[in-house]
Structure 1
Amino acid sequence: MDFLGFQLRNNLFVAPMAGVTDRPFRQLCKKLGAGLAVSEMVTSNSLLYGSAKTRRRADHEGEVDPISVQIAGADPAMMAQAAKYNADNGAQIIDINMGCPAKKICNVMAGSALMQNEPLVAKILEAVVAAVPDTPVTLKFRTGWNRDNRNAPRIARIAEDSGIRAIAIHGRTRADQYQGCAEYDTIALVKSQVKIPVIANGDINSPQKARYVLDYTGADGVMIGRAAQGRPWLFREIEHFLASGEELPPPRVAEIHDILRGHLADLYAFYGELTGVRIARKHISWYTKGLVGAAHFRHAMNQLQSVHEQLAATDEFFLGHAAANERLRYEEPLLEMRAA
């Protein structure tokens, strides 16, 4: 896919997720089939540029191009400064967050709360685009700030007029948070009204759903977030299905064990042992969710404090499932959830 002057392997995007899409996760998703991965958001507050958390979020060493960094804030001048700072430090695409529904972000009128103030949206977009004239700027937002105010089409036109090069739309309003089902009619409407690329996001959890959303909305690509947590091979499954119309068989448990082992090694190296063990817990939980005996395993694993203990417990759990070289098998509730 030709995207903003970059050649991507496909039109599958990893959604920016705070606390999830760190460098190890982005690299893994790209390795397993994603065309582009957007970083977790970086604050526009320049006072935080020197913090360890911000430095880690801006660390792209060894990552496959293009490097897309998401910034968040509500002040046009600070957002422009943040865009320039990140572009000067290796960002090849700047993404603006107007989709996050979290209270701590919306309470300072950033994220999806900005959709209530269209004049401010225009000022922010124009300021950021002007600050990084040689770097493409993209925008992620929602269908509106509540169901009575689905103003995504107006925001999209503002974005296009402001010089934004591509947009990603989550099929829920800010008020919806992550509840209910994503709707794609608004995304299809936006696609019919703008000339810049449109990426569809929300509830894309299978190859068949990706095909459906692309066909229904006419979108140029799909963005996948929560469905890839603990399931990064979803990107290769979708890539294969879109190219061939055929489903890949589920991965064998032994392969999932290998993928998780590699992911854990990257987390420990990236964060250090103490923080790495804590960050790894949620990923281990996602990788094992739905597997027989996983609830008991997760409870015991969350008490462990060292890399050695965490790896030993993980190996014991997965080796038990992989003894027969079996393919991934989920308990029925998870099968129902993922088929929804």
Structure 2
Amino acid sequence: MSGLTLGPLHVPTPVVLAPMAGITNAAYRRLCAEQGAGLYVCEMITSRGIVERDRHTLDMLVFDELETVRSVQLYGTDPVYVGKATEILCAEYGVAHVDLNFGCPVPKVTRKGGGGALPWKRRLLGSILEHAVAAAAPYDVPVTMKTRKGLDDDHLTYLDAGRIAQESGCAAIALHGRTVAQAYSGDADWDSIARLVEHVDIPVLGNGDVWEAADALQMVEQTGAAGVVVGRGCLGRPWLFRDLAAAFAGEETATLPRLGEVAAMMRRHAELLAKHLGEERGCVEFRKHVSWYLKGFAAGGELRRALAMTSSLAELDELLGRLDPDEPFPASELGSPRGRQGSPRAKVALPEGWLDDTDGTAWVLSGASREDAGETSGG
């Protein structure tokens, strides 16, 4: 494949790092970018938080000095706020790509009509997209959106969402082949991605169950997608982007690092976090990644616990030195799910009367769409 084109933006490898709350900060994006080409998206940011200059929100808008293409995912339910936030991102932060999240399945988000719940309101979805596209246009910044199949199997929205995205001027749409009710459980429905490809003229990116580079190639071949969005598959495995770049370049490369190479990657990750956040906070942030890096390896429980409690780079170095550098990568982990999975939800948390109509504009005018300024989960 010749890469991914989003309006004026060309991505050499058609791979996008999915925004993940508390994961895809500047340090992690830099770490992944060091492995291979792609588009690396910032953690999801609330539009109201940007417009109201909320300190916590603005603290998340940090970029590495080598991050030449700045990409941010916005969350919002009010067209005016999303438009204003998009303009601020383009004018003040030099962002080259804005993605809008309509896929987050977290109940605290959908209960407010946001994330994966919002595409049910077709008119509201169109209005949000139009405001964002209009705000980004003077800066020649492409706007894309990410969504899911729908609320559940009885309330599918993705085909309408694709049509609305295209009519609103979006440069592409990403589809996670699960419903909101599924969250991260079960299997992703790649056939829905193929149906969306047939339904729209803009590029479609496929998301869901890309655990290895071979999965990405299979998804593209099976669905006709213009590229892939990778989330949980790269947890504890940033070298997946090296494999993806090789695969899309027609090279057969599968990285199976020995534990010593994994330890070196862990050290690099912690070092980048320390650089951006300060050593103590960076090491604390690193703790959540330890279990993903060591998944399947024979490292003992006591050593794992100690690594997950580290508070300095010197301590981390000492603990990493105890790992067996020659231990081979656990082949049993190849192709297996990573990160959260959970169980499907019997009922999606929605605002009262949400399913009564597919408009949504009155709901915004009533003020019911107010979202909290702060961090929410990815989609």
Mark yes or no: TM-score above 0.5: yes
| Alignment correspondent of 1:337 | 336
Say whether 1:118 aligns with 2:116.
no
**Deviation at residue 12 of structure 1 after TM alignment:** 1.3
Shift of 1:48: 7.4
Tell me, yes or no, if structure 1 residue 177 matches structure 2 residue 198: no
Q: Equivalent of 1:309, from 315, 340, 361?
A: 315
Instruction: In structure 2, give the amino acid aligned to 1:82.
Output: A
Q: Is the 8 A contact 2:240 2:255 kept in 1?
A: no
Q: Answer whether contact 1:23 1:63 (CA < 8 A) is retained.
A: no
1:183 CA displacement: 0.5
Q: Structure 2: how far apart are the matches of 1:161 and 1:202? A: 25
Is 1:328 the equivalent of 2:329? yes
Residue 71 of structure 1: aligned partner: 74
Counterpart among 153, 157, 168 of residue 162 in structure 1: 168
Match of 1:3 in 2: 5
Q: Say whether 1:33 aligns with 2:65.
A: no
Distance 1:175 1:312 in 2: 44
Quote the residue 1:44 is aligned against: 47
2-side partners of 1:128 and 1:211: how far apart? 31
Once residues 254 and 149 of structure 2 are traced to their aligned partners in structure 1, the CA distance between those partners, rounded to angstroms, is: 33
Deviation at 1:50, TM superposition (A): 4.1
Question: What does residue 19 of structure 1 align with?
Answer: 22
**Most deviating of 72-81 and 57-66:** 57-66
Unmatched runs of 5 consecutive residues or more in structure 1: none
The answer as to 2:235 corresponding to 1:229 is yes
Deviations 1:228-264 (A, max 9, x none): 0110111111222333352435123332222221111
2:257 maps to amino acid: P
TM-score by length of 1: 0.91
Of 243, 247, 252, the residue aligned with 2:249 is 243
Partner of 1:128: 132
What RMSD, in angstroms, separates the aligned Cα atoms of the two structures? Answer: 2.1
Flag the 1:222–1:277 CA change in 2: closer, same or farther, 3 A.
same
Q: Which position in structure 1 is the counterpart of 2:107?
A: 103
Distance in 2, matches of 1:249 and 1:41, equals 29
Aligned to 1:201: 207
* SS at 1:290 equivalent: coil
- Aligned pairs, number: 332
- State which of 244, 256, 266 in structure 1 corresponds to 2:272: 266
Gap change, CA 1:127 and 1:289, over 3 Å in 2: same
Q: Measure, in 2, the Cα distance between the counterparts of 1:228 and 1:47.
A: 28
Tell whether 2:62 aligns with 1:59.
yes
Q: Give the aligned partner of residue 363 of structure 2.
A: none
Deviates more, 1:187-196 or 1:61-70: 61-70
1:110-140, Cα deviation, whole Å (9 max, x unpaired): 1111022111101111111112213210101
| 1:192 to partner: Cα distance | 0.7
Q: Aligned pair in 2 of structure 1 residues 46, 244: CA closer, same or farther (>3 Å)?
A: closer
Give 1:52 deviation, angstroms. Answer: 4.7
1:292 corresponds to? 298
Structure 1: how far apart are the matches of 2:61 and 2:262? 28
| TM-score with structure 2 setting the length | 0.82
Q: Where does structure 2 lack aligned partners over 5 or more consecutive residues?
A: 339-379
Does the C-alpha gap of structure 1 residues 50 and 276 become closer, same or farther in structure 2, counting only changes over 3 Å? farther
Name the stretch that deviates more: 108-117 or 225-234. Answer: 108-117
More moved, 14-23 vs 240-249: 240-249
Tell me which moved more, 108-117 or 90-99: 108-117
1:218 alignment partner in structure 2: 224
CA distance in structure 2 between the partners assigned to 1:249 and 1:230 by the alignment: 13
AA paired with 2:35? L
One-letter code of the match for 1:197?
P
Give the direction of change, closer, same or farther, for the CA distance of 1:124–1:291 in structure 2 (3 Å limit): same
Against the structure 1 CA distance between its residues 25 and 47, is the aligned structure 2 distance closer, same or farther, given a 3 Å change threshold?
closer
Structure 1 partner of 2:281: 275
The share of aligned pairs that are identical, in percent, is: 36
The amino acid across from 2:297 in the alignment is L
In the TM superposition, residue 30 of structure 1 has moved relative to its aligned partner by: 1.6
Instruction: Identify which of structures 1 and 2 has the higher relative contact order when contacts are C-alpha pairs closer than 8 Å and 6+ apart.
Output: 2
State the AA in 2 paired with 1:229: L
Q: CA deviation at 1:27?
A: 1.4
1:49 Cα deviation from its structure 2 partner: 5.6
